[in-house]
Chain A
Amino acid sequence: MRPEHRDRAKIDAARRVTERYFEDAAARGDDYLEGVLNDTLYHEQRRLERENPSDAKTRAELAFYQGIRRELLQLQGSDLRSLLDRVTRRFSDEIVGNFDERVYQLTTTVVPAGLSVLLSAASPRQLLSGSLRQRLGEHLQIQGAVDQVRKLLEKGTLIVVPTHSSHLDSIVLGYAVYLMGMPPLLYGAGLNLFTNPLTSFFMHNLGAYRVDRKKSAALYKDVLKEYASVSLELGYSNLFFPGGTRSRSGAVEQKLKKGLLGTGLEAYVNNLRAKRENPNLYVVPCTISYKLVLEAETLIDDYLKEIGKSRYIIEDDEFSKPRKVLKFLSNIMSLDSRIVITFSAPLDIVGNRVDGEGRSLDARGRAVDPFSYVARGGEPVHDEQRDNQYTNELSEAIVAAFRRDNVVMSTHVVGHASMALLKQKNPELDLYRLLRTGGELPSLEISELAEQVDRVIAALRDNPSGPRLGRELDQGDARMIIDDALRYFGTYHTQPAAIRRGSRFVHQHRNLLLYYGNRLNAYDLGRRLGGAYVQAA
């Protein structure tokens, strides 16, 4: 974001949030503002209690909130407003951060090259070779509505909404966007990405702003959302992960968080009100598919531990260990792996399809004016209840796109098929015991597994609403697919998910098999395959 825009966005976001609270206070009385401040203090206090008390940043924050608390006890009326204003501005300052413009300009030119090194695990010397881009192309496959997405940039502002399985997603997508010749996407990244030595470098180029997931106060979330909205209005395309966090189970997201998603509609109405030249917002669903996921082990463990409970925030996973990340990358690169990014057909803010010219279309392909959805008596208006429902409809359209454009790979099919067979052979075991013990037999006959793989693939092919099949599934027979998956399962993870011994498939790390198999959860395989089926929870 350009520096003058950044400052403006920072100020506007804080101002709009406080103004909205002031409006509410006008209707509900000043007690309301006091309640908001107390709620914020409470959440911040609790968060800070868990931080290291000798840390300078923590001390400064504690001092700030103690000051606010002291004043709150003495003040009322209009002074409450200035307190709220101070807290809000502190949040917006934190979110936007203090970027050094010189660093920003440096990263804009250097980072894509740096990322190339990371992705190809190549030596810096190779950077100079002209074939680098081509080599990278071998590992990163970008497909789907690429041309349309590029074209829509001229017609309005984009919100790219990808599936989320790894911290690498934002980097990989950032790189894809660079290859497509598009400007960086603005992105709210977790603080851990800023402290991670490998990625802090990239975050700036992605136009990242800081999101502290540990801050749970409603006021903080309001400022975050408002910042996203202001940046969209300034014409900066954004990247939102609509699932909220990385998928713990490995499944493609089927429920989305509506908060951030709804800012697109807000920005659209504001654009119309301000009579901006290109008011349209386009939502671009996108799937990122990996044969192996960097953090798979931690994610599935967290999922199994936390089913039914509130999940914790993972801070210490594979991603925080640079050596692990490099091992992951160089391993999958040496296997000629592909990370497949698929852009789905772009949508408008209520979930209608959009054509190449940026026009919204109804389900029968007839042009629709998106303005009509937010118009009342010829004027664009906000309506919270209506807009929430529009966002629900948009979210349903995104979920359908994920299901349709998810690229299924050998590891997913073999994970699914092997777990289904294990479940079938051990009907008396619940999922947890099955995962721990593996049941009666330590291995499966590969011929039997191959039959199940064929059944799964046939059922997926038969499904009119997706998914896409990866290259190796389209070309290879079941045994080749199993071999391919075993090659991947044998690399990178601490313990291979499975290995081959003669004609047997030895399942070793069943949590991982479950994790990769869960990628197929959205396709109703239970009904399609009868009893030969398993999925968690």
Chain B
Amino acid sequence: MTDETVGVIGAGSWGTTLAKVLGENGRRTLLWSRRSELCQEINATRRNEVYLPGIDLPTTVEATHDLERVSASAQLLLLVVPSHGLRQIAYELGDHVSGEHVIVHATKGIEQESFKRMSEVLREETCVRKIGVLSGPNLARELALGQPTGTLIASRYDEVFRRCHATLHNGYFRVYWGEDVVGAEVGGAFKNIVSLASGIATGLGFGDNTRALLVTRGISEMARLGMTMGANILTFAGMAGIGDVVATCFSSLSRNHQVGLRLARGESLAEIQGGMNMVAEGVKTSKAVHSFALRKGIELPIVRAVHRVLYEGQDVQSAVRELMATPTGAEFLVSLPS
């Protein structure tokens, strides 16, 4: 298993970055994109200029648009596609995979209408059982430049972690393991909302105190939501919780942060999205989470505020005023398991 080929499905900035890490670790890596001209460009120039400009890819990485070939060559598949596209690709993949495959997704989102987590979608669309999620403070560009960071692989199956660790872990990328798939997925999806809110705060000229308040109360909301879905609260204190939230809330590289920033400057959502070639997951996730919380009666003030700004036409100033006017109480509504 030590020299196994790895398939990376999705050649956006994060997929390309993971392929680069794998390739640098000496793994033969097949990077799949639906667009054959992008594959040709990557193979010819060893770069993905659209999604990861200026970064050279090792020769061990080969781009392909042949999904069947990827799943025939690689048993370990990293699925790195936007949440709205995951079901379709998983369905196509379902034609080619067997029970021997391992699928780890790195998608930080929740399916819109069904509120299903990505691992649930994978379970519905493929026969694969050995499913995992990769999540952590992972801004693609920083990792692509070889700056040290870490990530979490969460899976019920030890084997999933072992294989990811053997292929991904290296001197600048630390790979940790957890069993809490639900927590990792909720954390990864939810942090995009917090990041968006943090972008708004930055855009309004607020400083570090404000962002820290948002981050802390954001994690509290994340945990409240996660626990109703069966997550372990400790996951939110780890890589896929606080780790990821801090990275995205304090970074100007984060797409969600960018969206928040521009909203605060008075641009409309339509204007912002029109000019982006990448997906800001927080925009959709806040809608899905908001309606789920309403259905289940979970109190999530930050999510509500973001939702009002994005979808109910509320201006950011009054959203902040409203948020600051919500009553306070005990800091922790949940107690740690004894």
Contacts and interface: CB of A to CB of B under 8 A. Distances in A.
Contacts of B95: 366
Contacts of B127: 352, 360, 362-363, 366, 368
A373 B123 CA distance: 14
Contacts of B116: none
Contacts of A350: 99, 129
A322 B78 CA distance: 62
Contacts of B156: 389, 392
B157 A389 contact: yes
B159 A369 contact: no
A393 interface: yes
A364 B91 contact: yes
Contacts of B37: none
Interface residues of B, number: 17
Contact of A372 (B94, B99, B124, B125): B99
A335 to B, nearest CB: 43
A385 B157 contact: yes
Interface in A331-380: 350, 352, 360, 362-364, 366, 368-376
A328 B123 CA distance: 45
| Interface majority SS (helix, strand, loop, mixed), chain A | mixed
A375 to B, nearest CB: 5
A383 B159 contact: yes
Q: Which of B94, B124, B129 has its CB near the most chain A CB atoms (within 10 A)?
A: B129
Given A383-B159, A386-B158, A364 B125 contact: yes
Interface in A157-190: none
A353 to B, nearest CB: 11
A537 B210 CA distance: 43
A65 interface: no
A32 interface: no
B100 interface: yes
A386 B100 contact: no
Contacts of A352: 127
A372 B98 contact: yes
Contact of B100 (A363, A373, A383): A373
Nearest to B123: A363
A366 B99 CA distance: 12
B62 to A, nearest CB: 24
Interface string B145-159: 000000000001111
A390 interface: yes
Contact of A373 (B94, B99, B126): B99
B165 to A, nearest CB: 15
Interface of A: 350, 352, 360, 362-364, 366, 368-376, 383, 385-386, 389-390, 392-393
Interface of B: 91, 94-95, 98-100, 123-127, 129-130, 156-159
16 contacts: A360-B127, A362-B94, A362-B127, A363-B124, A366-B95, A371-B99, A372-B98, A372-B99, A373-B100, A373-B129, A385-B159, A386-B130, A386-B159, A389-B129, A389-B156, A389-B157
What 8 A-B pairs have minimum CB-CB distances, sorted nearest first?
A373-B99, A372-B99, A362-B127, A372-B98, A368-B127, A372-B100, A385-B158, A389-B156
